Amino acid sequence: MSPGARASRPHRRMAPTVERAGRPRSQGGWRGLVVPAGVLIAAELAARAAGLQSDSLARPSEIAAVGIAALIDGTMLHATGQTLVAAFAGLAIGTSLGLAFGILLGLFRTASRLAEFSVEAFRPIPSVALIPIVLLIFGFGYRMEIAIVAFATFWPILILTRAAIAGIEPRLLEVSRALGFGLGRRVAKIVLPAALPRLFVAFRLAVGIALIVAVTVEITGNTLGLGYALMDAQQSLRPALMFALLLWVGLVGWGLNAVLLWAQARLFGPAAAVEATP
């Protein structure tokens, strides 16, 4: 057997492996729908068999019909817009501040040590615990919700930005100092490009937190958005609408995460899978 034939043999073996590895990925998303679909079918059959008439439960078919009607008449989309406006505004503020302070603490160890107690003391405070205080300052409305979302998203961005910068190769920072880069150029030319994949993962985490906190604030203390619509449906004894809104919140969160995963894969390629691994 010639050396050329031996060299070509690994290539023939690798091609089927790549093809087989790609098939489960394309089918995995559809397989994930089997369990929820089975649960919905079982719930529908059980509700019909029991002749369900309840002020707290509803059949999946009723939930779907009411949810579609709420989408068509625009009430659900209007509430979704209110929630997303508050969530993204708070996310923008929290991300900007968290990124700035995270870079500062990541680059300067003295600042990180001085801020350690404050970070660890304030970070565990539940964001919803601020509702009474923020209500006194801003009252009901967008400003109250935005402030609480900003507080909730500030901490994960701060912590993960500091960790991302700590993971940068020290030689890169030494080279930037040797080249005489100031703080601004060092951050723009070295720090952000090197840490960007991890920072994007932090942003993905913060987006989920922003949506959760926004809906929670609306349930407990605001008269806007999907959370308030959930409470209104519960208090008016409309379980089908309540469950439809709950499922819609989950779909909105899933959609946002799917878009960010797609963007992450397009922007960072193979590095995205490594950085996203828990």
CATH of 77-276, one of 3.20.20.140, 1.25.40.80, 1.10.3720.10, 1.20.200.10: 1.10.3720.10
252: left (phi over 0), alpha (psi -120 to 50) or beta: alpha
* Separation between Cα atoms, residue 3 and residue 7, nearest integer Å: 6
Residue-by-residue pLDDT tens, the chain, 278 positions: 445 444 444 444 444 443 444 444 444 567 777 777 777 787 778 777 777 777 677 788 888 888 899 999 999 999 999 999 999 999 999 999 999 999 888 888 888 888 888 888 888 888 888 888 988 888 888 899 999 999 999 999 999 998 888 777 777 777 777 776 777 777 777 777 878 888 898 999 999 999 999 999 999 878 889 999 999 998 888 888 999 999 999 999 999 999 999 988 888 766 555 455 44
Tens of pLDDT, residues 247-273: 999 999 999 999 999 988 888 766 555
